[in-house]
Chains A and B, each alone.
Chain A
Amino acid sequence: MVTTGCVYFRPGIAKAFLAVLALAVISVAQGAERSPPTADHSKFEALKGPFEDATEVTEACLGCHTEAADQVKDTTHWTWLYDHQETGQQLGKSKVINSFCGMPVTNEARCTSCHVGYGWEDMNQPPPQADSAVDCLVCHDTTGDYWKFPTLAGHPTYVSREWPKGSGNLVQPPDLTNIAQNVGPSGRATCGSCHFYGGGGDGVKHGDLDSSLVNPPKALDVHMSPEGLDFACSDCHSTWGHNVSGSRYQVEAKDTLGIDVPGHTDMTRTTCESCHGASPHEQQKLNDHVDTLACQTCHVPEFARGGVPTKMWWDWSTAGKLDEDGNPITEYDENGHVSYLSEKGNFRHGEDVVPHYAWFDGTVEYTLIDEKLDLSNPPININRIDGGPDDPDSRIWPFKLMRGKQPYDTELGTLLVTHVFGADDTSLWSNFNWQKALEAGSEMSGMPFSGQFDFVETRMYWPIAHMVPPAEQALDCGSCHAAESRLAGVGGIYMPGHDSNIWLDRLGWLAVALTLLGVILHAIARMIFKGRGHS
């Protein structure tokens, strides 16, 4: 009887087990569950507020998180400086020129609105030294209400303010107390509040980072989608004492460490291989591609797929034209994207853009402000990517190739930076006068300007690593192994289906054709002479 009882009881246990299993499966399918926090910040006395100023919130944070400010001030997010180990160049947002608005140093309050701090108004000086100048909320806000106002050098607005200028739209000051009581881990929205808006607007700069990734469908990003794994940026860009891993100056172009096991490897997860390893495909022939192709080359078939266009061409040389009444002009292209602004010149935007492919070993060099340009050989590379087919550390990577025209000094042969932003009598966007804007840019950045300038075509490489769709949407073999190949012109590889020897083909088909011709003639002759021998 006992046995019967047991047997009778077992299905119940099995059912319960299955239910637990099903729940576990569902929770995995719906995205990684996160460990509950050990602190409810709304219960902290120090966070009861009210806060006059965001720096007061930081002071409250530092009351418990005593080392956080020092940690943050040690990171590139704070210093905007990066000492490149391979090239010896000093890079970082404080030093490099890009092909968008040039340099932060000539446009401080606007550009430093994305600094992870408050009040960096003079970039010729280091960021403010006070611990309370560190901005905790830009990364740790979970309410979505915290917004660094674009023109206040990192501060949110503390009074009701109009933005964009002239729009009539009033931005209200955020409720700092509520925000402080609801802090949590960084997420796609917090990282994205700066990184999705680089270059002055949504999706402008990167192409694979824009606001569509705050809540992406699975088809746009299988990792970040709430329907998929619901990853935060920091799930891959793992951190160590506030230092975020992953660099666009020194990219890990080929991760040979494979799956990162705690205690055994480098504890960063910024490469695909960190989780997927170096032979992730069931088909061995696909794994055979891993040594030459970055994962993204097949797995990010196009960028800017989320409905937000990215800038592909920016011609500064046409900026400054005004209408008959002396007012700035705005023009749109057939897709409704801005194609001309008096402040900024001509643009071309792209959506669902097929990347540019090139060999890449991860090292990026910049054309810095004192570097003589090779003007006989335009376009000028604003940054240069190293690597080639004979280098075992290189792979073929996808890039957004940003192109456009930028000012340079015709006497000195160097790039120039423009003072674009500011309510003063020199900024380009207020005065539409290049001479004045470039002179101001020279003064602010300390880079010499002879007074003579013109525009030169430039290009800039932006490695593509985000917007990975489910595997079914990866490129198929024929995208490259075909006459019309995505990798046409990359060089250094023999791609069956794309490459061939024209003479071998000519000779081969000639031999085939002659054989066929011989056979046909022989057959015709047989028909003609049929039976004649016996007659």
Chain B
Amino acid sequence: MSRVMIYKRFERFWHWCQALLIFTLLITGFEIHGSHSWLGFGDAARIHTLAAWALIVLWLFAIFWHFTTGEWRQYIPTKNGLFAVIHYYLIGTFTDAEHPYRKTTRAKHNPLQRLAYLFFKVVISPVIWVTGLLYLFYNDWPATLAGALELEWVALVHTGAAFAMLVFIIAHVYMTTMGHTLTSHIKPMVTGYEDLDQ
């Protein structure tokens, strides 16, 4: 066992800011959608827009970070060991089996995590960004776009992606409790350090 820095300072900053912003966006977004009326539509829309811009800026930094550090490779999907991980979560966890995946600093996400995070990064988030920006700049659509697209469709896709985001977060938050102890997966995301078998 060795204690290593697995989540670097920027990565943790990015993760927790993103978490805060996504929760803000989900709460205000579902108010804009009409699912609840906590803040009032006007404030919800204002906060939603602000949080969206903040998240865009954060993402620009995160994309830069991923490419300059090579960390983007952490998300390359692999079939190798995927079914073992799925089997562990469905059965092994109840029989006290060992987690089949051995984390390293160069491959810190197991194959299922890689898939889930990749889906989050290249499907859910881009769909939300594109539809969100279209939504925000609805009045400035060029004529060709305005002729081909309706706000209603943009809103529906944006809402659909928000549901996908909510599903992702529920599963993600739950799965962080599945380490050796309830918090053993969460601690490294706070302190950066984890004890790895190496």
Which residues does A use to contact B, with CB under 8 Å? 285, 288, 291, 476-478, 481-483, 494, 496-501, 504-505, 507-509, 511-512, 515-516, 518-519, 522-523, 525-526, 528-529, 531-534
Q: How far is the CA of A387 from the CA of B49 in the complex (A)?
A: 32
Taking the closest CB of chain A, its distance from the CB of B128, in whole angstroms, is 14
B187 interfacial contact with A, CB 8 Å = no
Taking the closest CB of chain A, its distance from the CB of B68, in whole angstroms, is 34
User: Could you tell me if A529 and B170 are in contact, using CB atoms closer than 8 angstroms?
Assistant: no
Q: Give me 11 A-to-B residue pairs in the complex whose CB atoms sit less than 8 angstroms apart, sorted by A's number.
A: A478-B37, A482-B37, A494-B155, A501-B159, A508-B166, A509-B163, A519-B174, A526-B93, A529-B96, A532-B95, A533-B97
User: Could you tell me if A531 and B96 are in contact, using CB atoms closer than 8 angstroms?
Assistant: yes
Which residues does B use to contact A, with CB under 8 Å? 31-34, 37, 40-42, 45, 49, 89, 93-97, 138-139, 150-152, 155-156, 159-160, 162-164, 166-167, 170-171, 174, 177-178
Q: How far is the CA of A288 from the CA of B139 in the complex (A)?
A: 6
Q: How far is the CA of A494 from the CA of B155 in the complex (A)?
A: 9
In addition to A481-B41, A526-B93, 5 A-B residue pairs with Cβ atoms within 8 Å of each other are A481-B45, A496-B41, A523-B174, A525-B94, A528-B94
Q: Which of A285, A498, A515 touches B34 (beta carbons < 8 Å)? A: A498
Taking the closest CB of chain A, its distance from the CB of B34, in whole angstroms, is 4
User: Could you tell me if A477 and B42 are in contact, using CB atoms closer than 8 angstroms?
Assistant: yes
Q: How far is the CA of A519 from the CA of B168 in the complex (A)?
A: 12
B97 and chain A: residue at smallest CB distance = A533
Quick one: which of A482, A483, A515, A525 has the most chain B CB within 10 A? A515
Taking the closest CB of chain B, its distance from the CB of A256, in whole angstroms, is 15
Residues of A within 8 A of B171 (CB): 515, 518-519
Q: How far is the CA of A285 from the CA of B137 in the complex (A)?
A: 9
User: Could you tell me if A512 and B167 are in contact, using CB atoms closer than 8 angstroms?
Assistant: yes
Q: How far is the CA of A515 from the CA of B178 in the complex (A)?
A: 16
User: Could you tell me if B34 and A483 are in contact, using CB atoms closer than 8 angstroms?
Assistant: yes
Taking the closest CB of chain B, its distance from the CB of A494, in whole angstroms, is 4
Taking the closest CB of chain B, its distance from the CB of A419, in whole angstroms, is 53
User: Could you tell me if B152 and A529 are in contact, using CB atoms closer than 8 angstroms?
Assistant: no
A531 and chain B: residue at smallest CB distance = B96
B168 and chain A: residue at smallest CB distance = A515
Residues of A within 8 A of B89 (CB): 522
B43 and chain A: residue at smallest CB distance = A477
Residues of A within 8 A of B162 (CB): 508
Q: How far is the CA of A526 from the CA of B90 in the complex (A)?
A: 10
Q: Which of A291, A481, A508, A518 touches B159 (beta carbons < 8 Å)? A: A508
Give chain B's interface secondary structure class.
helix
Taking the closest CB of chain B, its distance from the CB of A380, in whole angstroms, is 34
Q: Which of B40, B159, B167 touches A504 (beta carbons < 8 Å)? A: B159
Taking the closest CB of chain A, its distance from the CB of B23, in whole angstroms, is 15
Residues of A within 8 A of B49 (CB): 285
Q: How far is the CA of A499 from the CA of B155 in the complex (A)?
A: 10
Taking the closest CB of chain A, its distance from the CB of B169, in whole angstroms, is 9
Q: How far is the CA of A341 from the CA of B7 in the complex (A)?
A: 83
User: Could you tell me if A533 and B95 are in contact, using CB atoms closer than 8 angstroms?
Assistant: yes
Taking the closest CB of chain B, its distance from the CB of A223, in whole angstroms, is 25
Residues of B within 8 A of A516 (CB): 170
Q: How far is the CA of A516 from the CA of B172 in the complex (A)?
A: 11
Q: How far is the CA of A500 from the CA of B156 in the complex (A)?
A: 8
Residues of A within 8 A of B152 (CB): 494, 499
Q: How far is the CA of A285 from the CA of B164 in the complex (A)?
A: 27
Q: How far is the CA of A285 from the CA of B139 in the complex (A)?
A: 9
User: Could you tell me if B163 and A511 are in contact, using CB atoms closer than 8 angstroms?
Assistant: yes
Given contacts A494-B152, A499-B152, contact A515 B96 (CB under 8 A): no
Q: Which of B41, B93, B94, B174 touches A497 (beta carbons < 8 Å)? A: B41
Residues of A within 8 A of B33 (CB): 496-497, 500
User: Could you tell me if A512 and B163 are in contact, using CB atoms closer than 8 angstroms?
Assistant: yes
Q: Which of A481, A504, A532 touches B96 (beta carbons < 8 Å)? A: A532
Given contacts A512-B163, A519-B170, contact A476 B42 (CB under 8 A): yes
Residues of A within 8 A of B160 (CB): 504, 508
User: Could you tell me if A534 and B166 are in contact, using CB atoms closer than 8 angstroms?
Assistant: no
Q: Which of B40, B93, B155 touches A478 (beta carbons < 8 Å)? A: B40
Q: Which of A477, A494, A507 touches B45 (beta carbons < 8 Å)? A: A477
Taking the closest CB of chain B, its distance from the CB of A522, in whole angstroms, is 7
User: Could you tell me if A482 and B41 are in contact, using CB atoms closer than 8 angstroms?
Assistant: yes
A516 and chain B: residue at smallest CB distance = B170
Given contacts A496-B155, A508-B160, A516-B170, contact A482 B34 (CB under 8 A): yes
Taking the closest CB of chain A, its distance from the CB of B197, in whole angstroms, is 19
B150 and chain A: residue at smallest CB distance = A494
Given contacts A497-B34, A525-B94, contact A512 B170 (CB under 8 A): yes
